[in-house]
């Protein structure tokens, strides 16, 4: 296990306990680290920085262990991909308000490449993805697989200043070294390039009501951000904050019930077909590299 500290305030920042760890390390397996699985309420000892308010796991598995788990994780959310494409595509389109260049785009944690296809549809000339799950890459279209690097995101995958836009959706919470992650993104962006990030909001109404029953309090999330801490950590890594706000997602009603642990053994087809916009607890960041 690796001891963690606040990446915004540093080693000396005081912290308070929020939740105790509720599992044994030997319970961690491939199923736990499969994306968008049903919530299982497994989480590390969770603390909060008393200076900036960032929430994070006290200790986490080391990088080698995490890499192995993510590489063998399974793509388990095929039924949600149309809704995710609609949601993420909507916010990608909004980047046109900031005079986005559409020569090159990178998505970190791209799954089977559904968003890369959407970016191509919106006019991006060259798209690339990074994805640790081999199962996810195998489910990508053959023509797209050669544009997805099977790896954890790290230095050396691409040349400096390669991309106009870097996107990551429900990925930043999973990153065990967020400062290094953002430094690497900064290096890969061209001057004037943009980041589009969507991830969980620890201060959302859903998270505050459900507390440790919220699906975001999870072993896969070593850090949990809100609008304030997202702004602080991006500024610390030399990004200009263009926009930060709460966002909606398109969800079928049966998915909402699953997140809230409402057991529907046989959900009706009506619940799976009804799609609504919910502000369920996510935030969106657009940040810019000025140098």
pLDDT digits (tens, 9 = 90+) for 77-133: 888 898 899 999 999 999 999 999 999 999 999 999 999 999 999 999 999 999 999
Alpha helix (H) ranges present in 38-195?
Answer: 63-71, 81-94, 114-121, 134-138, 142-145, 178-188
Contact 251, 193 (CB under 8 A): no
pLDDT digits (tens, 9 = 90+) for 220-274: 999 999 999 999 999 999 999 999 999 977 666 666 666 665 665 555 555 556 6
User: Where do the domains of the chain lie, and which CATH numbers do they carry?
Assistant: 2-288 (3.40.50.150)
Question: Given this model, what pLDDT does residue 187 score?
Answer: 98
pLDDT digits (tens, 9 = 90+) for 176-230: 999 999 999 999 999 999 999 999 999 998 889 889 988 899 999 999 999 999 9
User: What contacts 266, CB < 8 A, 6 or more positions away?
Assistant: none
Contact 145, 137 (CB under 8 A): yes
């Amino acid at each position: 296990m690796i001891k963690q500290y606040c990446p915004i305030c540093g080693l000396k920042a005081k912290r308070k306990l929020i939740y105790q760890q509720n599992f044994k390390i030997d319970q961690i397996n491939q199923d736990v680290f499969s994306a968008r699985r049903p919530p299982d309420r497994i989480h590390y000892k969770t603390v909060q920085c008393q200076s900036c308010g960032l929430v994070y796991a006290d200790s986490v598995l080391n990088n080698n262990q995490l890499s192995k788990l993510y590489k063998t994780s399974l793509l388990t959310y095929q039924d949600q991909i149309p809704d995710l494409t609609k949601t993420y595509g909507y916010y990608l389109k909004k980047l046109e308000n900031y005079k986005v260049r559409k020569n090159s785009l990178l998505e970190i944690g791209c799954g089977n490449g559904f968003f890369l296809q959407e970016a191509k549809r919106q006019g991006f000339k060259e798209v690339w993805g990074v994805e640790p799950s081999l199962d996810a890459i195998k489910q990508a279209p053959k023509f797209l697989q050669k544009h997805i690097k099977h790896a954890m995101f790290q230095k050396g995958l691409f040349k400096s200043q390669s991309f106009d836009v870097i996107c990551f959706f429900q990925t930043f919470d999973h990153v065990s070294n967020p400062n290094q992650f953002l430094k690497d993104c900064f290096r890969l962006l061209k001057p004037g390039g943009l980041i589009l990030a969507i991830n969980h909001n620890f201060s959302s109404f859903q998270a505050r009501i459900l507390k440790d029953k919220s699906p975001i309090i999870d072993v896969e999330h070593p850090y949990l951000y809100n609008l304030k801490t997202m702004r602080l950590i991006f500024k610390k890594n030399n990004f200009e904050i263009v926009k930060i706000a709460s966002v909606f997602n398109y969800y079928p009603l049966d998915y909402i019930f699953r997140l809230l642990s409402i057991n529907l053994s046989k959900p009706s087809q009506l619940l799976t077909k009804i799609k609504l916009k919910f502000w369920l607890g996510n935030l969106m960041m657009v940040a810019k590299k000025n140098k």
